[in-house]
Structure 1
Amino acid sequence: MTAAPKVPKYYAVRTELERIVDTLEVGDAVPAERDLAERFAVSRETVRQAFHELLVEGRIERRGRGTVVAAPKLVQPLSLLSYTEGAISHGRVPGRLLVTWEDIVGDDELCGELQIARGSTVMHLERVLLADGAKLGLESTFLPWDRFGSFTDTFDPTTSLYAAIREAGVTFGSANERIETVLASPREATLLETTTAMPMLLMHRRSLDVDGRPIEKVRSLYRGDRVAFEAILRE
């Protein structure tokens, strides 16, 4: 008879820690590593490993010198909804912090994807995405300046870009998206108040209007501990 595999100490601690978290409310303090190490008669390093896994999964989060129960992940639909619409649909308060707003000369690849002449001016907008004040993602959007250059004088970067595009008379028709897992650069980790060890979800999107004309190219980086994506599939 084959013996059952031995359960690692950290995993047993993690299981108990999950049970503790399930009894608490969002924002409640989680017992300190030292207290848990004494309770379970293990080293603090063992407890720290269990903490790390729950941090990555978004069950708990660091707040100051302590650890608290985290809010549920923001589940974003894979659709032509804007980030604002997706957040509101889940009862969250969306927000944005402007990082960069500049006009750049598009390289050959970018101009090709936006179907504009080589060397054309492209508007680059980089913003931190918020939900209930928490930093969830970093969005970098590229727009053809000859089509959306007026936004320099009219657009409020703390609001929904998709709403502004629609108000300009442009109707979204389709989008191509690719999602992969990556680690953040030091700059990105700083902007999102996390570490370079935190798994991230990287989304590349290219949106077209109803006539098949490119609207935007977007690179969005989301904290894996705070955001998830879902899609509705039909035959």
Structure 2
Amino acid sequence: MDYPNDQAPGAPVRSGIPEHGRIPKYYAVKARIALLVDELAEGNALPTERDLAERYEVARETVRQALRDLLLEGKLRRQGRGTVAAGPKLEQPLSLVSYTEGVRRQGRTPGRNLIGLDRFPCNAALAEETGLRPGEPVWHLERVLLADEERMGLESTYVAAERVPHLDTDFDPDSSFYSYLHDRLGIAFGDADERLETVLATPREALLIGTPPALPMLLIHRISRDTEGRPLERVRSLYRGDRFSFSTRLRDSSSTRLGDSST
């Protein structure tokens, strides 16, 4: 199949044009605005809706629909009463790497705002999911995730109080929980089970993250264990779909098995 010469890696096949060739007017405007955004530095303002409508000779509602798509895709973001170029998304590896390390690798400054730190008896549902004992004390740590002071997501962590008995006094909520476990307590991560899905934020979550409830979110559930296989934490991490992406490296397990069988 032949593709247009300007087909960029990772772009929609045939630039999103349907097979019948009829392109919705808003989509054609969106494509032209996207080219305009590519020429702007991060944080630079986009022309007003009125200016864009006059430039492309379309109704302002057509421009609004195009801008809504670009906002949801993360190419634009609201700033005050205007719209600015958002810059590239943050890319987080799907691995046992802390949020702090992942953000710093991209030259951004990580941070967190504490929402709450509570201690309560482990209920039956949490015990079944994590392997903890029903009724044993559990910490619940909830924080808003930041990058360069911009709110990026919401993280909810459950951990047995026995493993971190002084979490409320020894831990800086703005710092990395993984570093605290490793550097202060000598606890190392062994492995984890992780599941990724797309969701919409609840009204409470949208308020804490500072996004519209209709914005798609990336949700990660993680059950972590230490090097001895003991349950360590249960984490629910909610990331903004317009500002985050995830990456991983895959290997062909069949080639590994063939290699093992030949030795």
Q: TM above 0.5, one fold?
A: yes
Aligned match of 1:224 in 228, 235, 241? Answer: 241
Contact 1:76–1:228 (CA under 8 A) maintained in structure 2: yes
Could you report, residue by residue, the CA deviation over 1:71-120 in whole angstroms, capped at 9, with x for unpaired residues?
21110000111000111111111000000111122211212333222111
Residue in structure 1 matching 2:208, options 149, 172, 191 = 191
Superposition map of 1:45-56 within 5 A? 45-56=61-72
> Does 1:208 pair with 2:198?
no
Which one scores higher on RCO, CA 8 angstroms, separation ≥ 6?
1
Identity score, percent: 53
Deviations 1:26-71 (A, max 9, x none): 0100011111111112111111110011101110100000000002
What aligned pairs does 1:1-235 form with structure 2 within 5 A after superposition? 4-167=20-183, 168-235=185-252
Aligned residue pairs: how many? 233
8 Å CA contact 1:73–1:228 kept in 2: the answer is yes
Aligned residue for 2:162, secondary structure, equals: helix
Aligned to 2:255: none
CA–CA distance in structure 1, aligned partners of residues 251 and 200 of structure 2: 32
Contact persistence 1:111–1:120 (CA under 8 A) = no
Query: In 1, are the aligned partners of 2:122 and 2:132 still within 8 Å (CA)?
Result: no
Runs in 1 of length 4+ with deviation above 6 angstroms? none
Q: Which runs of 5+ in 2 are unaligned?
A: 1-18, 253-263
In 2, are the aligned partners of 1:114 and 1:144 still within 8 Å (CA)?
A: no
When the two structures are superposed, what TM-score results if normalisation uses the length of structure 1?
0.96
AA matched with 1:99: I
Task: Report if aligned partners of 1:189, 1:196 keep a CA contact under 8 Å in 2.
Answer: yes
Q: Spell out, residue by residue over 1:117-158, the C-alpha distance to the aligned partner (whole angstroms, 9 max, x if none).
A: 211111000000001111001000000011112222100000
Deviation of 1:228 (Å): 0.5
Q: Shift of the alpha carbon at 1:219?
A: 0.4
Q: Distance in 1 between matches of 2:128 and 2:165?
A: 19
3-state DSSP class of the match of 1:140? Answer: strand
Moved more, 61-70 or 98-107: 98-107
Q: Give the Å deviation of 1:4.
A: 4.4
TM-score (norm 2): 0.86
Query: What SS class does the counterpart of residue 52 from structure 1 fall into?
Result: helix
Contact conserved, 2:132 with 2:231, CA < 8 A, in 1? no
Secondary structure, in 3 states, of the residue corresponding to 1:147?
A: coil
